Structure 1
Amino acid sequence: MNIINLMNFVLQVSVVQVEMGLQVCVVFLCGLLSLNVFVHGARQSQDIKCGACRALVDEMEWAISQIDPKKMIQTGSFRINPDGSQSIKEVPLARSEGNLLELMEEVCERMKDYGERVDPATQRKTYLRHTSRDGTSMDLSDVTLDSRVSASLKFACETIVERNEDEIIEFFSHETDNVKDRLCKPENRSL
């Protein structure tokens, strides 16, 4: 009887060890799957932020280009200094702080005009206008139109505008070169 009891005990321990091994294996696989989802989600989130930033810059540049460059606005203080002069200067309306603030309030609404394109080689996502500004037809064969993508772009755009308002005004009011590269760089932690 002792040998039979011993064999049953060994079998029970072996079954428990196998079950525990399976549980550990399942937990390990779930952890790997969660990590993959997290990494994919972080990459997708970064793609959305980058796409929204680049679209924001494109839309701001286009809106500025639609304003007559000859239109000027007076800025500064309208008070008269002790010497009788005023601190007024004329700046182009298109690049005035007031106009830029107004454009920034409206720019994120235009994210609804963007669709998603996935690069077949790298699986990286980019975001392209699916609605032309001048009414010409566009090749949309590889662009996916999805309201969730538009909503994500809009939210990311609003976040970028909110966090970087001063920089955006600075870049556009002084006609800074390479605004996309300066504002949308991955190192910019405020995106």
Structure 2
Amino acid sequence: MSKFFNIILVGLIYFNSINCQLNTVEEEVDAKLVKCEVCKATVQEIENAVSKVDTGKKVDVGGFRIDAHGNTVSKSVQLSKSEVYLTELMEKICKRLEDYAKVKHKKTHKIGVIQMMVDGALNVDVSSWDFVQDGDLNKSLEHYCLEILDEFDESFTEEFMKETLPTDLDYKLCTERTKLCNDPPPLQDDYKLEDEL
């Protein structure tokens, strides 16, 4: 049985134990909206993985060229900023979307994707969302992630190789660079508030 079904089972038990009702809706969801949300989730997953890498770990890059004096020329960069590390990470990051589900916000009716388990426990934000049932059992989320990274791998690599990551990286990648989302530009205060929470 897949990890996703185990998560759903744990979620059902959790909700029944606190006398809540798990709401699901069955409807067709615009694939473009889902792809936008998958892009944002992918950026978040890569950011999380990169943040866990020791900043002291360095790798030599530059192809070990030889300068005019016969000396080897290479430069050392943080492991998490190296193209090799980022490429390897992007090859396996989409597997993490097996832990996500398509959802619709109960109040705003906005479509999204939500991570079911956070730090080994059921995501507390689940109660604000209705699960969107579909025939593919959320397998399309991983597929969309693979599609996005295949088509826009250079954009993702370039952004994640920057010395400092912008606070609005999801907007830069998913709206500005890939055009997968049509989100308005974020207010800097929005990101400051998220950082404070």
> Could you tell me the TM-score, scaled by structure 2's length?
0.67
Instruction: Provide structure 2 residue ranges, at least 5 long, that are not aligned to the other structure.
Output: 1-26, 182-197
Partner of 1:68, secondary structure, is coil
2:170 alignment counterpart: 180
Residue 136 of structure 1: CA displacement? 3.7
2:88 alignment counterpart: 102
Q: CA RMSD in A?
A: 2.5
Q: Deviations over 1:64-98 (max 9, x none)?
A: 11111100000013243231332200000011000
**2:140 is aligned with 1:152:** yes
Q: Which has the higher helix share?
A: 1
What are the equivalent positions in structure 2 for 1:42-61 lying under 5 Å apart?
Answer: 44-61=30-47
The AA in structure 2 aligned to 1:179 is L
Residue 189 of structure 1: CA displacement? 4.2
> Could you tell me the TM-score, scaled by structure 1's length?
0.69
Please give the alpha-carbon distance, in whole angstroms, between the structure 1 residues aligned to 2:80 and 2:141: 25
Tell which structure's C-alpha radius of gyration is larger: 1
**2:57 is aligned with 1:67:** no
Partner of 1:144, secondary structure, is strand
CA contact (8 A) 1:52 1:153 kept: yes
Q: Deviations over 1:12-62 (max 9, x none)?
A: xxxxxxxxxxxxxxxxxxxxxxxxxxxx96x62122111110010000001
The AA in structure 1 aligned to 2:138 is S
Please give the alpha-carbon distance, in whole angstroms, between the structure 2 residues aligned to 1:103 and 1:74: 18
Q: Which has the higher strand share?
A: 2
1:138 alignment counterpart: 123
**2:76 is aligned with 1:86:** no
When the two structures are aligned, how many residues end up with a matched partner? Answer: 150
Aligned-pair identity (%): 28
Relative CO higher for 1 or 2, CA cutoff 8 Å, sep ≥ 6? 2
The AA in structure 2 aligned to 1:172 is F
CA pair 117-145 structure 1, distance change in 2 beyond 3 A: closer
1:21 alignment counterpart: none
Partner of 1:185, secondary structure, is helix
